[in-house]
Amino acid sequence: MQFSENITLAVRALADHKMRSFLTMLGIIFGVASVIAMLSIGEGAKREAIAKYQDLGVNNIIIREKNLSDAELEEVRARFSPGLSLNDAAVIMDVVPGVDKVAGQAELSAEVKYTDKTVKSTVIGVTADFLPMMNLKVDKGEVITQRQYDERLKVCVIGAGVANSLFQSENPLGQMVKIEDQWLEVVGVLQSKTLFTETVGELAARDMNTDVYIPLTTFLNRFKPTNTLTSQIQQITVQMDGSGKLVESSKLIDEILKRHHWKQEDYNIVIPYELLKQEEKERQIFNLLLGAIAAISLVVGGIGIMNIMLATVTERTREIGIRRAIGARKADIMSQFVTEAVVISIVGGLIGVILGLTLSLVVSSFTDVSTYIRLYSIVVAFTFSVVVGISFGWLPAKNAANLKPVDSIRYE
């Protein structure tokens, strides 16, 4: 008996009991669909995380001032810590091996005004290195240049969100915006950035599109902090050369800063790449759990197949007897029933794949959970469903094949 005959036979047998076949398939359908949907959600989260950390630079170490209350700040200053300063940045550059670039940033929350429009923004004083270090690219105009830095020019590069709120369809380049009591010329507009909503380590989540970047020299010269205890700068971004010594370097940086800050820990050190690795590890366990739950539902689906098939074999004892009497070998009966199980699981698997793809599409379009389907997840789910079909179809098929023709032909 040929393979194609078996397929026809199986399809016919299943078509004869459409409702029962469908119910049998249901377990496989949901199993495969959930495996695909779960994996796509896991993969979506992973990609989102990678994108998020890439925004912060995978070779970067970020040193950020701690958020201190006024009392705490006084306490720290009383213990002689000057807070983060350009001096810290210079020492890190000098002492720590493998450092490519060090950039200090000073920050200020302020309103940016243009004509009658106002937008709340974070004004950040940066060196010429900073924007390239953070993979920030201009949509129009230019980034902060070394000349603007050196000459303390009153210029700014604005985030896409700021440009939108203040200028709408107008060309922002060359326009003057007012921040506090200073007029600054817009020389560049950044490309829009997808905002991340989760906190990364000690870095609070924020929308980088509302930032305004100006030369650090200009910042320090023109904007005086209201609180005299405020540190000179709020963040130091250290770019390493990619030799992978991020953790060691961060320890060294910590040692240096501790000494300079008189053992006052008024700063946090964040390594985006390390956080990424750590998050990945946690996510892996989570994904494994999701996958396992989905796989269990597939196995339960397989047990459903076995259950129905066992009942079917009893019901079809007579048929088996007739087939044996006219010359079917055990192997023929065996393959007939295994094929039926396989057809159930293949058809169920295909429907499950479609349902799984639909599900993950629905999830990503109606919730803010992002999903991403990789081919391997479809292959894995589908293959697993077929394997389940074969394994759970095996026992009923064996029972069928082992019926004695003498007895089964007279079975009523």
Partner 1 sequence: MLIEIKNMTKDYSLGNDIVVPALKGINLAIDKNEYVAIMGPSGSGKSTLMNILGCLDTPTSGHYYFNGTDVSAFDDDELSTMRNREIGFIFQNFNLLPRLNALQNVELPLVYAGVAPAERHDRAIKALERVQLAHRMDHKPSELSGGQRQRVAVARALVTNPGILLADEPTGALDSKTGEEMMRLFHDLHSEGNTIIVITHEQDIANYANRNIFIKDGMISSDTINPNPTIAK
Q: Which residues lie near partner 1 (CB under 8 A)?
A: 1-2, 5, 12-13, 16, 318-319, 321-332, 405-406, 409
Written in H, E and C, the secondary structure of the chain is CCHHHHHHHHHHHHHHCHHHHHHHHHHHHHHHHHHHHHHHHHHHHHHHHHHHHHHHCCCEEEEEECCCCHHHHHHHHHCCCCCCCHHHHHHHHHHCCCEEEEEEEEEEEEEEEECCEEEEEEEEEECCCHHHHCCCCEEEECCCCHHHHHCCCCEEEECHHHHHHHHCCCCCCCCEEEECCEEEEEEEEECCCCCCCCCECCECCCCHHHEEEEEHHHHHHHCCCCCCCCCCCCEEEEEECCCCCHHHHHHHHHHHHHHHCCCCCCEEEECHHHHHHHHHHHHHHHHHHHHHHHHHHHHHHHHHHHHHHHHHHHHCHHHHHHHHHCCCCHHHHHHHHHHHHHHHHHHHHHHHHHHHHHHHHHHHHHCCCCCCCCHHHHHHHHHHHHHHHHHHHHHHHHHHHHCCHHHHCCCC
Least CB distance from residue 42 to partner 1, whole Å?
45
Q: In this complex, which beta carbon is closest to partner 1, that of residue 17 or of residue 101? A: 17
Least CB distance from residue 312 to partner 1, whole Å?
13
Q: In this complex, which beta carbon is closest to partner 1, that of residue 110 or of residue 322? A: 322
Q: In this complex, which beta carbon is closest to partner 1, that of residue 7 or of residue 322? A: 322
Least CB distance from residue 326 to partner 1, whole Å?
4
Least CB distance from residue 279 to partner 1, whole Å?
57
Least CB distance from residue 389 to partner 1, whole Å?
23
Least CB distance from residue 304 to partner 1, whole Å?
23
Q: In this complex, which beta carbon is closest to partner 1, that of residue 184 or of residue 328? A: 328
Q: In this complex, which beta carbon is closest to partner 1, that of residue 321 or of residue 349? A: 321
Q: In this complex, which beta carbon is closest to partner 1, that of residue 82 or of residue 405? A: 405
